[in-house]
Amino acid sequence: MKKFTAKIICVLLIAALAFGLCACGEDDGITGKYICIGESWFGEEFSEPSSEGYIQLKKNGSGKYNTGLSLKLNWELNGEDFDGTYSVLGFECELDGILKDGVLEVSDSGTIRRYLREGAELPSWAEANVPLITADVTDNTDVTDNTPEDARLMGFYAIKSIDVDGSFIEGDDLIDAELSATFMRIDSDNTGELGFEGEEPDSFVLDEEAGTLTFDDGTVVSFYEEGEGIIKVVFVDDNGSTMTIYFELETEAVG
């Protein structure tokens, strides 16, 4: 319980600071927010994006990559060549592309996305719906779904928001608070792990009937289903402070 009590206190402090921070400076023509305006699968023509996404580039080489899930981004630019990396569940993923005339085009696991910098006009060359870069295509056709029928909650869940005594942290603020990589994984035998960003994950046993997660150190917390694919986990410390984490199913596990 001591670890989770310390985490509640830490997140309370983050919540107090998260909304009071801002950045300012001169426009360098590169950094800023880029809104997704098109998606291309495996080199086909661009179509309307499937979700509202964006990439935000900051001057220190950090940023945000949002395709429905907000992730930390590290990036660098060599001429027009753009290289970026982001992490999901401890695995580093690459973004390769170009940045030209306020248009950022990147390839991510077979999908090419085109972004336009906020406030910029679309250049004439970008009016064509043909990608300038080539997608890195991976063949996943041999993947077989062997998920057990009784493993109803089995899967990987990404953090959606946190409520600490009425203070909410969600969306981009999860990145600023270094919480966006927090996750929960539930395995077919109803064991799993819950990991806060930057920390070793903690193992638990899930009791669906009782609505509890029991961690290896004996800590027992409550969980609730809030709708299809949404689970909330409630931590209460010795002082009565409550931290509720909302998780959203990202990937159904494949056995």
pLDDT band with cut points at 50, 70 and 90 for residue 8? low
Tens of pLDDT, residues 116-159: 999 999 999 888 888 888 765 444 444 444 545 456 899 999 99
Residue 183 pLDDT more than 50?
yes
Residue 174 pLDDT more than 60?
yes
pLDDT of amino acid 22: 45
Antiparallel, parallel or unpaired: β 70-78 and 202-207: unpaired
Between CA 108 and CA 56 the distance in angstroms is 16
pLDDT of amino acid 11: 66
Q: Higher pLDDT residue, 50 or 77?
A: 77
Mean pLDDT over 33-57 rounds to: 88
Tens of pLDDT, residues 73-107: 999 999 999 999 988 766 788 999 999 999 999 99
pLDDT of amino acid 39: 92
- Which residue matches tokens 């603020």? 173
Q: What is the DSSP letter of 41?
A: E
Nearest to 57 by CA among 72, 39, 38: 72
pLDDT of amino acid 142: 46
pLDDT of amino acid 168: 84
pLDDT of amino acid 14: 60
- Which residue matches tokens 């940045």? 99
Tens of pLDDT, residues 205-233: 999 999 999 999 999 999 999 888 899 99
Run of H or E residues at 2? helix 2-18
Which tokens hold the place of 58? 């900051």
